Structure 1
Amino acid sequence: MDIRSIKTFQTIVKYGSFNKAASELKYAQSTITTHIKKLESDLGTKLFEREKGLHLTQAGKLLNRKGELLLKDFENLQEAMSELINGESGMIRIGAMEPTASYRIPNLLKPFIKAFPKIQVSIQIENSKTLSKMVKSDEIDLAICTAPDLSSGMHFTPLFSESIALLIPENEQLGGQETITLKDIENEEILITTAVCPFRRNLEKQMIDKGIRPNYQMEISHMPALKFYAQAGFGIAAVPLITVTPPPEGTVVREISDFRKALTVGMLRNEERSYTGKAMESLIQLLTENLATEKLE
């Protein structure tokens, strides 16, 4: 039993005639007859009685009721399949590190969701190392993160630099200084993220290169939460500048004058995967054009 035969059957019922159905469907009369014979053979029963006109059998009446639903479901399936093939429906899985996930991605996705309302978007927020593994294992389609140790088949496109600044409680002496160096924070109680965080590793490397040993007061795993602990007076926080613009009440922001290298953030993709489809192509273009607006260091 195929959809074409059911459509032929429904057309015959609608017009009450094999001839009129053939004209409507632009089929030869023999084709219409063949469709119905095949349908009756597949179902193992007659669908029409031809004595004194054309009438439906009980089986024909049942097929007439169910056939309309079958055709509608098939049309819906065809439409959904076409949208999926053309990249206008389905799911796109994005990975993002903080603070990009909270401070940059939300507003960028608004026009995308409006343009592709049938696309489901999944956002996974992880550190760069985890995101790299997820891209490689096809758990996500792409990631916005720092550059990983690239393996075969992985491609990283730099987009922007994430600047680092100090968030300091107003009552701290350091907050009164207009110019702050890495040496100035050597003995300060620093609030920092976990050891896998690229922002922490970058700060540590620059301090160690200058012979400075960091003094960590508290380790907080969630990057956007750092500012609230600094605001509460637990210490100074080394944070991406975007997360403290403007600074929370009771704090001041100071840049580190000899902090020379901001982190480069970009788009990580798996070269072994195909990134076709209108939605995916549009998303990649949207992210690239809107994120690649800040000077790379």
Structure 2
Amino acid sequence: MDLRELNAFQAIVQEGTFSRAAEKLNYAQSTITNQIQRLEKELGVQLFKRGWEAELTSAGRIFSAEVGKLIRHWNEVAELAKGLQQDEIGRLRIGAIEPLMQTILPSAMRSFQQSKPKMTYQIDMGHTESLAHAILRDELDFALCGEPSDPSNFHFQPLYQEKIVFIADDLHPLCGASDVPFREILPFTLIAGGRQCLYHLQLAKHLSRDEISPQLHTITQISSIPYFIQQTSMIGVVLDSTPLPPGIRIIDVIWGASLIPVGFLQLRGREYSPASSKRLLMQIVKEEIERFP
């Protein structure tokens, strides 16, 4: 069964005769006859009474009531296939570390939807290691994160570098001081992101080099850390891009931590074509990062 056979049947029903249906579709009458014969053979029922007058059988009347739906469905599927072929319809699965969820991604996705209004997207937040595992399990197309501890299966394209900073309430004794040595923050309680975060691993290395062991709390949602330290003597450890509410300031700590590269992470060998929606979104994200202060 194909669309031409369905259209031929519908035209006969609408026009009342084979000859007028053939004229409407610009076919020879024998072509219309052959199409109906093939359709009847495929369905295993007789649609028109013999004599080839356009008189429907009982099966033909039932089929006639449904043929319009079949043609519409056929056309909808064809349009969907065209859209998928042109990369206009589909679903993108993106992963990102938390700081980008509040800054870069919302603006980037608004711009992307203007170019690809029929595309839908799924955005998962996580730390670098969890996002890398999701890519390996084919649960994400790509992620915006750091470089995983085992990068052998991935292609990582750095976009910018994150700085680890210490923050405190305005009334904290270290706020306003310049060049605060790292050891001077250790007597205070610290709050940092989860232990799987790349920056937490750097912090842990620096803490292990000193005999003073501060009390260290962990919170998986980095953006909430500034609110936990408000009106306390605790010190938060966050990324420089973390939005800070009024009354929270960065402490000028000297500690020599390495900058953390952040960029696109995808499976090695899965680079997307320049015309693809995924590549378009990646380009938009890159432009948003370049504009971000």
Q: TM-score, normalising length from structure 2?
A: 0.88
Work out whether residues 195 and 201 of structure 1, in 8 Å CA contact, stay in contact via their aligned partners in 2: yes
Aligned to 2:18: 18
For the pair 1:266 / 2:254, whether they are aligned, the reply is: no
Q: Distance in 1 between matches of 2:212 and 2:24?
A: 85
Distance between the aligned counterparts of 1:52 and 1:282, measured in 2?
56
**Partner residue in 1 for 2:277:** 279
* Identical columns (%): 28
Q: Identify the residue that residue 136 of structure 1 maps to in structure 2.
A: 136
How many angstroms apart in 1 are the aligned matches of 2:53 and 2:216?
A: 93
Report the CA distance shift for 1:152/1:12 in structure 2 as closer, same or farther (over 3 A).
Answer: farther
Question: Given that residues 164 and 255 in structure 1 are in contact (C-alpha distance below 8 angstroms), is that contact kept between their aligned partners in structure 2?
Answer: no
What's the counterpart of residue 145 of structure 2?
145
2:126 matches 1:160: no
Does the 8 Å contact 2:174/2:251 carry over to 1?
no
Is 1:236 matched with 2:235?
A: yes
- Consecutive unaligned residues in structure 2, runs of 5 or more: none
Q: Which amino acid aligns with 1:253?
A: I
**Mapped partners of 2:140, 2:212: distance in 1:** 38
Does the CA contact (< 8 Å) of 2:88 and 2:119 recur in 1?
yes
Conserved in 2, the CA contact under 8 Å of 1:231 and 1:249? no
User: CA separation in 2, counterparts of 1:71 and 1:52?
Assistant: 23
**Number of paired residues?**
292
Question: What is the CA distance between 1:197 and its match in structure 2?
Answer: 1.2
Paired residue type of 1:92: L
* Ranges in structure 1 where 5+ consecutive residues have no aligned partner: none
Deviations along 1:56-110, whole A, 9 cap, x unmatched? Answer: 3332222221000000011111111221232222211111112122332122111
CA contact (8 A) 2:104 2:285 kept: no
Q: Residue 175 of structure 1 aligns to a residue in which SS?
A: coil
Shift of the 294–216 alpha-carbon distance from structure 1 to 2, 3 Å rule, reads: farther
Task: State the distance in 2 between where 1:15 and 1:257 align.
Answer: 87
Alpha-carbon separation, structure 1, partners of 2:256 and 2:151? 29
What's the counterpart of residue 289 of structure 2? 291
**Matched AA of 2:248:** T
* Aligned-partner Cα distance in 2 for 1:264–1:152: 17
Which string of whole-angstrom CA distances, capped at 9 and with x for unpartnered residues, describes residues 101-138 of structure 1?
23321221111123222222111111111111111221
Which 10-residue stretch deviates more, 70-79 or 249-258?
249-258
Q: In structure 2, give the amino acid aligned to 1:85.
A: Q
Contact 1:153–1:272 at 8 Å: present in 2 too?
Answer: no
SS of residue paired to 2:217: strand
1:61 aligned counterpart, secondary structure: helix
For residues 207 and 52 of structure 1, the distance between their equivalents in structure 2, rounded to whole angstroms, comes to: 91
> In the alignment, residue 33 of structure 2 is paired with which amino acid?
T
Cα displacement (A) at 1:3? 3.0
Which residue does 1:86 correspond to in 2?
A: 86
State the TM-score, normalizing by the size of structure 1. 0.87
* Inter-CA distance 158–173: structure 2 relative to 1 (3 Å threshold): same
Amino acid paired to 1:104: I
Measured at CA, do residues 2 and 86 of structure 1 come closer, stay the same or move farther in structure 2, by a change above 3 Å?
same
Could you say if the C-alpha distance between residues 151 and 161 of structure 1 is closer, same or farther in structure 2, counting changes exceeding 3 Å? Answer: closer
Where 1:147 maps in the other structure, the secondary structure is coil
- State whether structure 2 residue 253 is matched by structure 1 residue 256: yes
Aligned match of 2:117: 117
Aligned CA RMSD, in angstroms, stands at 2.6
2: CA distance, partners of 1:255 / 1:17: 89
CA shift digits 1:218-260 (9 cap, x unpaired): 222221111111114260101112223xx32332223434435
Give the Å deviation of 1:51: 6.2
